[in-house]
Chain A
């Protein structure tokens, strides 16, 4: 029996998030390969408008799963509603984005079906029998297959192109049938971290960023010196701000700032996907790393394989000389 391929749509203030359209691309690809049908679910207290947006993107049916208890995300709410939908509709694949919602709900939904999830995939083959993901922070890729259905999948953001508008799917309102007292997590609020506002990486033209391997706040000084020589700003990977060598507002990446300078120099940064998504749109990328296999080299225009403690000071000196200060 060819089953349904269900995209779990995420919305932000009522708007469908772009990532959800990337999932629809995958859903349609899987539907074609398996003879199944691509459908989608929007969960909320008022999901119909967002469901209507998705219906014009080549899915057969968009389930508008409506319940006051779905006004905000909770793992228990999402899992209970989706479990019912999967059972009622004969779903074979469930697709989430690998986002704070996806990585929270997907493994729980697979677990209630007695299965692990296929997390953070980047590619699929063979009608959903073989999936590819990265491991070891991007150093390796691996293929994986899962015994059993439904296959619950989280998909790395950007791994598939967002789908075009196409066709005219149906929106079907369904009741979630939730028992509010059975939902153990209670949503309180969404907050924003206040920034100190001393740096504005988002509008910087030049960023020199350093990583964990600098080793200490003192040794991080070579990054600051290079940034000063260039008249640029200082960026960092997450371990640097976690360790308090720099305030959080210097962190580039998925849980930090997305930057787009004319020049981005990454020194001693491995290039985990969460860092890459924050800087890959930079105009010109220079990467310095002692490991020639470091994933950062995949997005770099210029690759320097070597020791940052030699290269960075030498570059600082060469820049100062070139600018006539040396």
Chain B
């Protein structure tokens, strides 16, 4: 099977984030980035499906020059080649514009399966893959906790609430988003990191993909974001201060007075 994995570079989970001057996004200088955790599971799933038969795993990412790092991670972990949509025209887009660009790149691959993360940890919009599926004319399923090959396509167990799952069959090609915990992602080996240096990383621009630049990036966006801010704090609880020991003693007192369990 030929499998595309869509991966996004997002701020590291522990990065201290600040709002930018026009309050549309965060300040993205001076912080660390990582491969979106959900996408790490999608990559692992793609590698396992490939290893169970034969085929190719192609990692695709839309993002600025720094996003090459997450594609290098994918190549070092076992992806066969990568496509980086780093042209300026692709940047600053909403999920619609991003899906347009990703769809054009994915068409050049002609995959049997497109795997994505359930959501990106920065915008957490959880919709790019579904828009992408419509643009590619493929069926989709979101939140997979299990993907199995069948004679006619794939069988997907979608995670529902409270430990329930919904099992659906899909024909291929299809777009599937993956939940965390579906597998145990591997990390790149030294050998993998060396091998990655020889793997192909293409960087097509809009003209190479036959897209009109006005359909992608900020120009092609239909959703506008503004007034990014720290949410107003609700009537907050008490903040304890002092030395570690003082805090511990104060906590014991609060627990004793307020819970009846001590």
Contacts and interface: CB of A to CB of B under 8 A. Distances in A.
Contact of A140 (B174, B230, B244, B248): B230
Contacts of A108: 130, 133-134, 140
Secondary structure class of chain A's binding surface, majority of residues: mixed
Contacts of A255: 159, 161-163, 179
Contacts, number: 248
A224 interface: no
B237 A322 contact: no
A73 B168 CA distance: 10
B261 A205 contact: yes
A302 B163 contact: no
A298 B163 contact: no
A219 to B, nearest CB: 15
B143 interface: yes
B195 interface: no
A225 to B, nearest CB: 13
B251 A286 contact: yes
Given A135-B123, A323-B262, A140 B255 contact: no
A11 interface: no
Contacts of B135: 111
Interface string B7-21: 000010110110100
Interface string B133-164: 11100011111000000000001011111111
A297 interface: yes
A167 interface: no
A190 B228 contact: no
A234 to B, nearest CB: 15
A291 B126 CA distance: 25
A120 B123 CA distance: 11
Interface residues of A, number: 93
B164 A119 contact: no
| Residue among B19, B180, B237, B254 with most chain A CB within 10 A | B237
Most buried by A among B155, B170, B231, B233: B231
Nearest to A323: B262
Nearest to B19: A140
A305 to B, nearest CB: 7
Contact of A139 (B163, B223, B230): B230
Contact of A254 (B161, B180, B230): B161
Given A107-B130, A147-B224, A136 B122 contact: yes
B11 to A, nearest CB: 8
A242 interface: yes
Nearest to A188: B167
B52 interface: no
Interface string A41-78: 00000000000000000000000000000000111100
Contacts of B14: 213
B17 A136 contact: yes
Contact of B160 (A119, A190, A230): A190
Contacts of A323: 262
A149 to B, nearest CB: 11
B47 to A, nearest CB: 18
Contacts of A118: 223
B261 A263 contact: yes
A317 B248 contact: yes
A195 B163 CA distance: 9
A286 B17 CA distance: 24
A206 B261 contact: yes
A303 interface: yes
A283 interface: yes
A146 interface: yes
Interface stretch (A22-30, A86-94, A169-177, A307-315): A307-315
B237 A297 contact: yes
B104 interface: no
A191 B164 contact: yes
Contacts of B167: 187-191
B234 interface: yes
A293 B169 contact: no
Given A144-B225, A232-B261, 10 more contacts: A100-B158, A120-B126, A146-B224, A184-B139, A187-B167, A187-B168, A230-B261, A298-B234, A299-B234, A306-B247
23 contacts: A76-B139, A99-B161, A103-B142, A107-B131, A111-B130, A135-B228, A142-B225, A142-B226, A144-B226, A185-B141, A190-B166, A191-B167, A213-B14, A238-B180, A255-B179, A262-B259, A283-B259, A304-B251, A311-B248, A314-B247, A315-B248, A319-B252, A322-B252
Lowest 6 A-B CB distances belong to which pairs? A111-B134, A242-B181, A107-B130, A184-B139, A107-B127, A318-B248
